[in-house]
Chains A and B, each alone.
Chain A
């Protein structure tokens, strides 16, 4: 096997092996565990960067072998997978640092970090899956490896949340499975292909394709938190902050959204899906979810819960961009995959820091927190402005393309959705910023869950938050640059339309 065949496998293995090694590490060997974690994360990052460089030079990376029943297990790197792989490995790197700092001294860390690594393995697998079957395997693997993370604290509340999470995702997985198998029975191999591969099949199958489309979207919609399948997400925020951060930015929610992108673009083909009339219902569902999530976020006092509802809304931007036919709209949806990840992970990092350092978990408790923790709050502010879509933070580039795309496809009402969401986003983020920066502190800060430290919070927590905040700012400020996520999204979108 040559390097080009092995590389995708190595990218998956770098976190998988790390995870397995950590499982067998005694609980007290914190330093070894941290070293292992960081080594795995760094290795993955380096491998992915090599892969980026290779793809840039025109190399092909594909790993393929047959498993049972004529299914192929395929890991393949195209531009779209590169988008998510790069995002996952970059954010995993910083989340690992954060998690090491966050869980310092808490019990069951071997279990936690083991599953944590497996979770990233799964999300990288989801990104590089070359066909629907492989995608499904990793997708379900993701469900199993995140469950222990959600219930990590072992409290009654987290167990209940975990139960809900499992129910939703398992049911979603079952629906997805039916869809995948049905499609396999109908057309055989399910290798992802730019501009889709179902167009060539006779019109007599179109009825089945329509049903299969909705099965797939419902299955994926659970993780992508499409209304009314989003119920697990706001509950699952009881998980430790690094888990929430990963769940909301790169892992579970993103896997769902990414799956929708794959199904629409590389299974059906966006134009074919549009011809079948499949996109409009998706546009309506995502539009409703966008507004619904934002409206619900308005009234949440629990900070993480507010952020969770915000995710419900923001992730649907991705599916919205995908469901509206047209190049510009596709660019907007695809780039939001990255932008939302960067911004939301920052917000959760910050929420975690507030809880760890000052025991602040509610919005009403954040009065005056800006003066106490200026750096954290600055990072939070950048990300929040990005979510509202204020330039030059990244969110603006997404919104601009989505809006323009809606006009190009002749669906100007989508602009109304985007504007409503903008106003609502402002409505639930700006009061937080106001409380943090401009209001006076009302009660004493709670005790810190960590040892006293030099800065406002341990460096291990602060550093990742600052870096991801800067990344969200820089990707927005330099969205026009050749290396920006926007440029990559544009390159992907260009290939997804039949010339």
Chain B
């Protein structure tokens, strides 16, 4: 029976998306809401009720679809489904007055289908298919507001996504070829022995790096995540960004050998992202942009963990599990922060609720910073055991940096709340609270329930202290900085999307140069050459008479009729010849 349970998590949202495509704006709101509430439920059920090892093979679908439930898939599916489910409920409330709500939900559910599908995919083409569905549907979320900034973000998102897809596809072709198999489980084993191992790993790192906000390929992310409607930002930054991490976990040959050089590359890029994003994020004024930079920074931390796993063959399974826990924590907390931006706007006029919302946001921020007892801290403390000591210190520094960045976010959102005049709105407030609750309790339930023995749950008092001091340092620093806050506005500013400006200008120039110097002259030359050949074969004046006459004849109805009478007679003649032996 597990077949249906593995199909429905992606097929049902896909069907919901199609229904909304067909129904369009004329679909009754009640139906749309009901479908939206249920879309993520099959995924949640699969995560809860299936066991690792459950699988399904559907030979007719795509080039033969394999669906695999593994521990990694299960943990990812669990937090992904929970985040999508709560965000769906939030989105129904949030999008109530949006005129393009039907288009929003169509793209939204297609993204959900891609997201759950790629987690469960057991063969390479299916993974690519789900990844592509999610990427292209994501475009619809990014440009939803249809204003200039969302268009620019969408353009950059799509250009980079297409490049990412191309890199991923190359990696996939190489992996499938080397492994002589379409199945991820089998094909992966061939990577270490392949002469192209480094190439494959680089392509996987970069290709999925586009989605995961790898330093240097992250530019689209701080532009695209914030311009989408708030619920879309939450799933983009909470769940869909993790597709890049899944790609790394599924397609890098971790646990099959040790790659010290590549490991250091990952760690270096991870730290660049972790600190660079904080530095640039600090200069932003828009709260959602700050959160997006924080996501880039957090993905950097996850890449560091991946890098550590690649250097130690035995550590890989444990690192995979702790990444699941870390990713879940980040998904819930980042989701709660993004959704919280919307909630904060709606409760601005009520002092009591304002306190509740601010406390909730602080909790979520602490969870990301790695404050004690949160999923982030639990995962990080396990990671520090396997990490080289320099890396471990780096991770502590990154905790301080993250605390600073999120503190800045909180300060800005607090300032904004006083200006906002929206009405409070239970439809978005309640799912947000539930999400916060999930963030707090999920590690304490999930880790024992799934018997994740490699994760140490019971922290010693000293452990709490260790986790607490980077966060406290961060808070202290922000307190000091606030006294000097007047200076802050004189800081040099890097606009959101940092490297993008450079690339946009370069692309524009190259395109113009290409047209001017290559495309146009080449075409002219070719035409001239062909014309010259034709003229050589057939002189100008003759052409105009003979050809013209022929054309006139052909256009003449009777002439064409006669021609075809002739043809039939030939045909009949041939037939008679054939009939006589």
Contact = CB atoms under 8 A, between A and B. Distances in A.
A477 interface: yes
B523 interface: yes
Interface residues of A, number: 62
B568 A20 contact: yes
Contact of A404 (B143, B173, B554): B173
B62 A391 contact: yes
Name the prevailing secondary structure of the B interface residues.
Answer: helix
A118 B547 CA distance: 22
Given A400-B173, A480-B61, A423 B125 contact: no
A108 B154 CA distance: 48
Interface stretch (A159-167, A182-190, A344-352): A159-167
A51 interface: no
User: Which of B58, B64, B571, B578 gathers the greatest number of chain A CB atoms within 10 Å?
Assistant: B578
Contact of A391 (B60, B128, B551, B577): B128
B526 interface: yes
Contacts of A38: none
A114 interface: yes
B572 to A, nearest CB: 11
A430 B526 contact: no
Given A154-B555, A163-B547, A486 B173 contact: no
B27 to A, nearest CB: 14
A479 to B, nearest CB: 5
A66 B168 CA distance: 55
Interface in B37-74: 58-65
B132 A422 contact: no
Contacts of A16: 571
Contacts of A108: 557
A213 B128 CA distance: 39
Contact of A67 (B125, B526, B547, B577): B577
A419 B555 contact: no
Given A148-B560, A378-B21, A404-B176, A159 B551 contact: yes
A430 B158 contact: yes
Nearest to A370: B103
A492 interface: no
Given A407-B174, A479-B63, A480-B64, A65 B554 contact: no
B386 interface: no
Interface string B469-487: 0000000000000000000
Interface string B537-577: 11000010001000100110100110010001001001001
B62 A111 contact: no
A477 B126 CA distance: 10
Contact of B125 (A118, A228, A391): A391
B174 A299 contact: no
Contact of B136 (A295, A390, A403, A440): A390
Given A419-B170, A480-B63, A392 B129 contact: yes
Given A396-B125, A396-B129, A423 B166 contact: yes
B290 to A, nearest CB: 27
A478 B63 contact: no
Contacts of A231: 526-527, 530
B4 interface: no
B252 to A, nearest CB: 20
B63 A147 contact: no
A415 B173 CA distance: 9
B166 A419 contact: yes
A23 B561 contact: yes
Interface string A153-175: 01000010011000100010000
A295 B65 CA distance: 34
A136 interface: no
Contacts of B568: 20
Interface string A112-132: 001100100000000000000
A294 B516 CA distance: 17
Contacts of A419: 166, 169-170
Nearest to A419: B166
Contact of A147 (B21, B158, B554, B557): B554
B519 interface: yes
B564 A404 contact: no
Contacts of B519: 295-296, 299
Given A299-B515, A391-B132, A162 B551 contact: yes
A476 B59 CA distance: 13
B151 interface: yes
B192 to A, nearest CB: 18
B24 interface: yes
A477 B133 CA distance: 13
A466 B24 CA distance: 17
A111 B560 contact: yes
Interface string B18-46: 00010010000000000000000000000
Interface string B128-167: 1100110010000001001000010010001000110110
A374 B24 CA distance: 10
Contacts of B177: 404, 407-408
A398 to B, nearest CB: 11
B129 to A, nearest CB: 4
Contacts of A423: 162-163, 166
Q: Could you say which interface size class chain B belongs to?
A: 35 or more
B578 A65 contact: yes
B577 A407 contact: no
Contact of A422 (B169, B543, B547): B169
B415 to A, nearest CB: 33
Nearest to B161: A426
A56 interface: no
A343 interface: no
Given A299-B515, A415-B173, A423-B166, A480 B59 contact: yes
A119 B547 CA distance: 22
Contacts of B21: 378
Interface in A453-494: 476-482, 484, 486
B534 interface: yes
B65, B530, B543 — most chain A CB neighbours (10 Å):
B530
A299 B522 CA distance: 13
Contact of B534 (A167, A228, A434): A167
A201 interface: no
A415 B170 contact: yes
Contacts of A24: 561
Contacts of B523: 296
Interface string A355-376: 0000000000000000000100
B122 to A, nearest CB: 14
Interface in A404-435: 404, 407-408, 415, 419, 422-423, 426, 430, 434
A391 B557 CA distance: 47
Contacts of A378: 21
Interface in B96-111: none
A151 B551 contact: yes
A105 B478 CA distance: 77
Nearest to B515: A299
A262 B568 CA distance: 28
Interface string A438-456: 1010000000000000000
B62 A477 contact: yes
17 contacts: A23-B564, A24-B561, A66-B577, A73-B578, A151-B551, A151-B555, A167-B534, A167-B538, A228-B526, A296-B519, A296-B523, A390-B132, A390-B165, A407-B173, A430-B162, A477-B62, A479-B63
Interface of B: 21, 24, 58-65, 125, 128-129, 132-133, 136, 143, 146, 151, 154, 158, 162-163, 165-166, 169-170, 173-174, 176-177, 515, 519, 523, 526-527, 530, 534, 537-538, 543, 547, 551, 554-555, 557, 560-561, 564, 568, 571, 574, 577-579
Given A391-B129, A423-B162, 13 more contacts: A23-B560, A67-B577, A115-B560, A163-B551, A171-B537, A231-B527, A299-B515, A378-B21, A391-B125, A392-B62, A392-B133, A479-B63, A480-B61
Which 3 A-B pairs have CB atoms at the shortest separation, nearest pair first? A65-B578, A391-B129, A481-B60
